Amino acid sequence: MNQIKENYQDDEDFLSDQEEEAEIIDDGQPIIIGKLEGVEQQLLLDTGSQVSVVSEEVFEFIQRKNPRVITLPVSGITIQGITGKIVKVVNQALLTLQIQDSTHEQKFLVVKKLETTAILGTDWMRDKKAKIDMDRDEVYFQDNDVDYYIRFQGRSLKIRTANLQVNQPTGSREENEAIEELISQYEDIFSTKPGLVKTKKNQPAITIGKVKKKKEDKKLKNILKNIKTEQDEDEKCSWIKKEIEENKHGRAEKLKEKFILHQEVLFRKSKRAQEWWVIFLPYIRHREIIELYHQRMGHFGTSKVSAEISENWYIPDLEKKVKQLLAACDLCQKTKIRNQKQEGLMKNVIAENPLDIVSVDIFGPLPRSKGGVEYIFVALDLFTKYVKLYPMKKVNTRMILKKMMEDFIPNVGKPKMILSDHGSQFTAKKWAEEFSNREIEVKMTSVYHPQSNPVERVMRELGRMFRTYCHENHGNWASWVKQIELWINASIHDSTGFSPIELLKKKETDQLVESLIQFPMRTDLGKDIKIRLAREKLKSKAEKRKDKHDKKVNKPVKYKPGDLVLLRTHYQSSAVNKEIRKFFLLYEGPFEVVEETEVNAYRLKKPDTGMNRGVHNVVNLKRYIKIPPEPQLVQVVQNIYIG
């Protein structure tokens, strides 16, 4: 399939696997010896099978030996072989696969009347970077930084379980469409992560705009419904309320400079604006509000979540508490890239006003999603941080210019300068001519340093958010684009102190909170003042960021036995399953450190079963953080409320 192969042209492992396949296609299939759940089996290596499969007879024997094997029925699903023979799929299973000293959990489809005991397909080969050498009669693969060379135990006639040959381009449009149809038919049986979750093609993994948001809104309503009672029951809130009303300790006037009682609800003056009052949140609700906003905002980090909460709520030591709780978010730990030191000094790109500089780039190719889209064209205003995301089928110069001229400029505004990398879409003569005709300057970043294009930060955030919400169904990413765009534009940006939409357009307040409780009079800052403050903060933040970057030195990381760590995953893209590496969770686990076997190498095990997880270099590990018990959260002292 030409298009799918083009989508993976940058994946060297994928292409090299396919080139190996061409060399062995006319030979008998190699067989090696391994163990499934401790039972020795012959394993046929088949580069023509996109998935690993096991015969029903072997699986039933394994189940009798280990009844706790995880399975998921897949009733009515079949796979068609290259000869046209139909093979029925009866289950999915996650089995412990052992080949010599390499042990891991492997996903298998259980099929009826398989002509061999078990097949290891290209899913296993890509994961282990396996290479088949037919001349030497051996297969090479890597596991936990260990190289394995396994001799063949024999060869079998070629067996193919699926006719989904995404690696072999076909000659006609009809043939391509036929293969695409097969892919869509079998998409539902290919689970995309351990746990064997079966996802329907038309069913999003999470529906944030409907089910999930309704649950979160209900929680928020319950908090506001009981706010008066819970403030009265909270030691600190009730003390301030009584002191303001009764002045028993002579502190009422001092307290009134920062606090106000409005319809029996205690509010505190916000530090952000002179006349901006926020609800004093009782201690019992701190964790709930932090976690609720973290989920509502698409799992953003400490700065954005803290800023958004502080728009309507007062929590003492807010940033410390947010940082503490977010650090323990299981999903964030598995999806966020660990920051590494970059070589060389940082050069800041700073805009003075909205739409001075708009930075553009292309995110993709991605698995084909709703409407046939495979790319996202990204346009970012560097001053306000306002972003537009355009899902696209193709990303040639003409199509991108159409988005800029017919949507971005009319609806967002005309930029003074366009900043891009050296992609072919942006180096075309037509690109510069079209903007020149509209008196818009065109500039490009350093050829070998894409980080000098500020939109790269948005690209990383897109990858993180797609990993968070699409790791179970990679082909569903297009349905999330509008929601992600809204999250980014509505969240307060640490570099400016304001949300992008607030600086560029009119801020949309949290209408749910304001509809449920009456606030004291709030006086917002004018737009000109906001832009001036944002400009000052942008410059200050840029200077601090540059100093920190230029001085930063990575410190060696050490773990001790008993520590919990996450392990970096090394998934490979799969066109058949509509999977792409950048959408998988970056880490799996947690695992427990057993010992340091040598410098920077640690042996790991599963905390619950004690199963050996191998030896791993420290570069592939990061510490796993658990949510602390409630009493260990940052405690509040009385003088915070007064001083």
Per-residue pLDDT, 81: 53
Q: Which helix H or strand E contains 442, and what residues bound it?
A: strand 441-444
Is there a domain that residue 21 lies in? Answer: no
Q: How confident is the model at residue 639 (pLDDT cuts 50, 70, 90)?
A: very low
Is there a domain that residue 261 lies in? Answer: yes
Contact (Cβ atoms closer than 8 angstroms) between residue 235 and residue 637: no
Per-residue pLDDT, 406: 92
Per-residue pLDDT, 579: 43
Q: Which residues pair with 443 in a beta bridge?
A: 419
Is there a domain that residue 524 lies in? Answer: no
Do residues 233 and 284 share a domain?
Answer: yes
Sort 192 into a burial class: Cβ within 10 Å, 0-12 / 13-18 / 19+: buried
pLDDT at 182 over 50: no
Sort 214 into a burial class: Cβ within 10 Å, 0-12 / 13-18 / 19+: exposed
Q: Which of 97-101, 116-120, 303-307, 539-543 has the lowest mean pLDDT?
A: 539-543
Which is it for strands 138-143 and 146-151: parallel, antiparallel or unpaired?
A: antiparallel
Between 196 and 331, the more confident residue is 331
Between 144 and 72, the more confident residue is 144
Closest CA to 349 of 530, 220, 538: 538
Whole-angstrom distance, CA of residue 268 vs CA of residue 225: 19
Do residues 483 and 562 share a domain?
Answer: no
Is there a domain that residue 137 lies in? Answer: yes
Do residues 244 and 315 share a domain?
Answer: yes
Is there a domain that residue 352 lies in? Answer: no
Closest CA to 233 of 283, 278, 287: 283
Q: Provide the domain limits for residue 629.
A: 555-642
pLDDT at 223 over 80: yes
Do residues 303 and 217 share a domain?
Answer: yes
Do residues 368 and 494 share a domain?
Answer: yes
pLDDT tens-digit series, residues 479-488: 888 888 888 8
Do residues 502 and 361 share a domain?
Answer: yes
Q: How confident is the model at residue 154 (pLDDT cuts 50, 70, 90)?
A: confident
Between 174 and 609, the more confident residue is 609
Domain final residue, candidates 491, 507, 523: 507
Do residues 329 and 372 share a domain?
Answer: no
Domain final residue, candidates 305, 335, 365: 335
Q: Which helix H or strand E contains 38, and what residues bound it?
A: none
Question: What CATH number is associated with residue 567?
Answer: 2.30.30.140
The overall average pLDDT reported for the chain is 73
Contact (Cβ atoms closer than 8 angstroms) between residue 279 and residue 312: yes
Do residues 391 and 325 share a domain?
Answer: no
Q: Is the peptide bond preceding residue 365 cis, with omega within 30 degrees of 0? A: yes
Ranges 369-383, 444-458, 523-537, 551-565, most confident: 369-383
Q: How confident is the model at residue 99 (pLDDT cuts 50, 70, 90)?
A: very high
Question: What CATH number is associated with residue 279?
Answer: 1.10.340.70
Closest CA to 474 of 556, 398, 554, 366: 366
Do residues 295 and 410 share a domain?
Answer: no
* Mean pLDDT confidence for 381-390: 92
Is there a domain that residue 308 lies in? Answer: yes
Q: Decide: pTM greater than 0.75.
A: no
pLDDT tens-digit series, residues 56-78: 889 988 888 888 787 776 655 55
pLDDT tens-digit series, residues 448-480: 344 456 777 788 888 777 777 776 777 778 888
* Mean pLDDT confidence for 375-380: 92
pLDDT tens-digit series, residues 387-424: 999 999 988 999 999 999 999 999 999 999 999 887 88
Per-residue pLDDT, 155: 67
Cα angle 625-629-630, degrees, rounded to a multiple of 5: 125
Do residues 230 and 330 share a domain?
Answer: yes
167 HSE (CA, 13 A, CB side): 21
How many Cβ atoms are within 10 Å of 19's Cβ, its own excluded? 9
Do residues 305 and 373 share a domain?
Answer: no
Per-residue pLDDT, 549: 53
Question: What CATH number is associated with residue 63?
Answer: 2.40.70.10
Per-residue pLDDT, 390: 94
Q: How many domains does the chain have?
A: 4
Whole-angstrom distance, CA of residue 603 vs CA of residue 243: 58
Contact (Cβ atoms closer than 8 angstroms) between residue 340 and residue 329: no
Q: How confident is the model at residue 260 (pLDDT cuts 50, 70, 90)?
A: confident
Is there a domain that residue 257 lies in? Answer: yes
Is there a domain that residue 539 lies in? Answer: no
Q: Which residues pair with 399 in a beta bridge?
A: none
Do residues 86 and 118 share a domain?
Answer: yes
Per-residue pLDDT, 88: 72
